[in-house]
Amino acid sequence: MNTNAVESAHPSQIAEFLDTFIADKGCIPSDASLVTSLTELPRNLQRIAVRAPANEGWRAWTDKDGRIYFVRGKVSNTFTRRMSRTAMHIFFHDAEGELTDSGVWSKDNHGRWDPCDIPDARAGRRPSEN
């Protein structure tokens, strides 16, 4: 695997990675529709999307009840190099823009996403994340 290509992924590639992650994990309702315009998002999520650094991408969905699902991600260079496969830090936000969950996941050769083991920061073994 060419980890240099993954480490310099364009936001549209990151969005594709997010799509495969969501499809694999099933964390968005199957009847949810992809949000295709910033104007469809609440203002706080618009701010997050617009202010995202060049190395991040985002995806959002809305379900039939009007709930918004907002996910952003960035390639984890540290874990991509360590594991020699695509690894992403994935962030989940609620409709107000508050971070509700995050984690680092890697994609295996079969397209499945698995959580990465992250050393406990309280034990002083925190990896440098870029």
Mean pLDDT of 6-34: 83
**Number of domains making up the chain:** 1
* Residues 30-80 pLDDT 10s: 899 999 899 999 999 999 999 988 889 999 999 999 999 999 999 888 888
CA distance 68 to 74: 20
Query: Six-digit token pair at 7?
Result: 């480490």
Residue 93 domain-assigned (yes or no):
yes
CA distance 36 to 60: 8
- Concatenating the DSSP letter of every residue in 76-105 gives -HHHHHHHTS-EEEEEEE-TTS-EEEEEEE
Beta bridge partners of 91: 72, 102
Domain membership of residue 51 (yes or no) is yes
pLDDT given for residue 77 in this prediction: 87
Distance CA 88, CA 14 (A): 9
Whole-number pLDDT of residue 66: 92
Residue 129: inside a domain? no
Residue pair 90/74 in contact by the 8 Å Cβ criterion: no
Q: Does 123 fall in a domain?
A: no
Residue 119 lies in a domain: no
Q: 83 is in which domain, residue-wise?
A: 3-108
| Cα separation, 109 vs 21, whole angstroms | 13
Give domain status of residue 130, yes or no: no
Does residue 117 fall inside a structural domain? no
Mean pLDDT of 11-28: 88
pTM of the model: 0.80
**pLDDT confidence of residue 103:** 93
Assess if residue 113 is contained within a domain.
no
Q: Over the chain, what is the mean pLDDT?
A: 84
